[in-house]
Amino acid sequence: MNPPAMHLAELNIAHLRAPIDSAELAEFVALLEPINAVADAAPGFVWRLKESEVDPTATVVHDYGDHLLINFSVWESLETLWNYAYRSEHLAVLRRRREWFLRMMEPYMVLWWVPAGHIPTLAEGMRRLERLRSEGPGPEAFTFKDSYDSSEAVSLPAAAEARK
Amino acid sequence: MSSDDLEALALLHDPVRRSLYDVVASRGGDVGRGEAAEAAGVSRTLAGHHLDKLVEAGLLESGFRQQERKGPGSGRPAKVYRRARGERSVSLPPRDYVTLASVLAGVVEALGAEERAEEVARGAGAAIAEGRRGEPVERVLGERGYEPYAEGGKVRLRNCPFHVLAEEQPLLVCSMNLALCQGLLEGLGDDPGRAALDPRPGECCVSLKQTDIDIEGG
C-alpha cells in the first residue's frame, strides 16, 4: 500500500504588545489583507484558518488569551511554506515583528505533517506546540531548523489518529 | 571541504569549461547546448562534452526542455543545463567558518541581538566601500559574488553569498544582508534607500532601485 500523501501544518503564535484594535497595532492590521492575499496566492498554499470570510482584517478569535495572535495554515511542502515565509513580501513584515510583538523565549512556531485533505484543529496545533516546547523537535512537532520529512511521520500513531 | 569539492573546482581550471560554466550560471535558468556553445565560442560537440563533464562533477545539472510540438517529427527533447544548487568551497588547510557563523547566528538569536547585528553589518558594508567612493555599487556587489542583473527597473541579485546561513536563519541573515548592502551604498556615496528587501525563491533577498542616471549611456 502506498503511504498517504502528506501536507504540512504550521501554527505560530505571537504575543501582541498592545490590543489588536489599538493605534500601536494599526499598521500591522493594515498589512493583514495584502499579506494574506500573498499567502493565499503562494505556490503550495492549501488552507489557513480565517475568522471571517468577508472581513480580511479579522484575526482568529480563540480561548488562549487575547494577547496571543494566532496563525494557522496547511501547505503542500516544507519548501512552499519556507518560500512564502522568507522569500515573499512576507519577509519584510516579519522583519518588523518587534514593533508589534514581544520577544518570546520559547518556540512560537511548530510544524507537523497531516494526511492530505485533513484539516487539523486549533487545539491539536496548540498541543503540538506544547510538545515542541516540552520535548524538543521530533517527527510529530518540529521546526524549519530541525525538520523531518513526511515519510518519518506517516508511520506515527499521531498520523493514524489524525486520519480517523 | 571534501576532496570532491577540490576535484570539482579543479575542473574549472580549463578555460573552455570555465566559460561554459559562466555562461550557464549567468543565465539563471535552463541553457541549451547550442546556446552555451555559441556564447562560449566553441563547437556544439565540444560544448556538449565539457558540459557533461561539469554535470558529472556536480557543478551543473542537466534536464530536458519540453518540446512545443509533441508526437512524430518533433524530434528529441533538447538537453538543457542549469547551475547546481549546492555550493562548493575549498580552503587549504581546512577551515570551517560556516559552522562558526552558524553558532554565532544562534547566539545573536538567543540574545535577541538582531538589531545590534544589523548595525554591525551596516558597518561591515561601509568598510567594504572604504576607498571606493563613487564606484558603481553593481561592480562592488559583482566582485563579492552577488551576480547583479537588471530587470524591470531594478538591479536584482541572482546569488546569495550567504546561502547556507540564509537557509538556516533567514530573518537574521537577510536583515543583516540588507543592512550590509545599505552600509555599502552609503560608503560609496550612494543612496542607502536604493536597497530594499525584495526576496523571491532562489535569489538574494535584496534588490536595488535602478538610478535615474543611465550609467551605460553616459
Length of chain A: 164
B93 preceded by a cis bond (ω within 30 of 0): yes
d(CA A136, CA A159): 18
pLDDT (average), residues B109-115: 92
- Catalogue the long-range contacts made by B108-112 (C-beta closer than 8 Å, 24 or more residues apart): B108/B172, B109/B169, B109/B172, B112/A103
Interchain contact A96–B (C-beta under 8 A): no
CATH topology of domain A6-163: Alpha-Beta Plaits (3.30.70)
Q: Does pTM surpass 0.95?
A: no
Pair A78, A144: CB distance under 8 Å:
yes
**Of B5-14, B101-110, B126-135, which range is least confident?**
B5-14
- With beta carbons under 8 A apart, name residues in chain B contacting A98: 114-115
pLDDT, position A1: 56
d(CA B144, CA B150): 17
Domain ranges of chain B: 3-66+77-83, 97-209
pLDDT, position B198: 94
> To which H or E segment does residue B26 belong?
helix B15-27
Greater pLDDT, B139 or A104: B139
Question: Residue B132 pLDDT more than 50?
Answer: yes
Nearest CA in chain A to B165: A145
pLDDT, position B77: 80
The residue among A149, A68, A153 whose CA lies nearest residue A104 is A68
Domain ranges of chain A: 6-163
- With beta carbons under 8 A apart, name residues in chain A contacting B168: 145
Interface test with B, best of A91, A93, A101, A102 (most B CBs within 10 A): A91
d(CA B138, CA A139): 44
Q: Residue B61: which pLDDT band, with cuts at 50, 70 and 90? A: very high
Q: Which three cell numbers stand for residue A153?
A: 511521520
Task: Give the amino acid at B208.
Answer: L
Q: Which three cell numbers stand for residue B165?
A: 546561513
* CATH code assigned to B3-66+77-83: 1.10.10.10
Q: Residue A54: which pLDDT band, with cuts at 50, 70 and 90? A: confident
Pair A100, A29: CB distance under 8 Å:
no
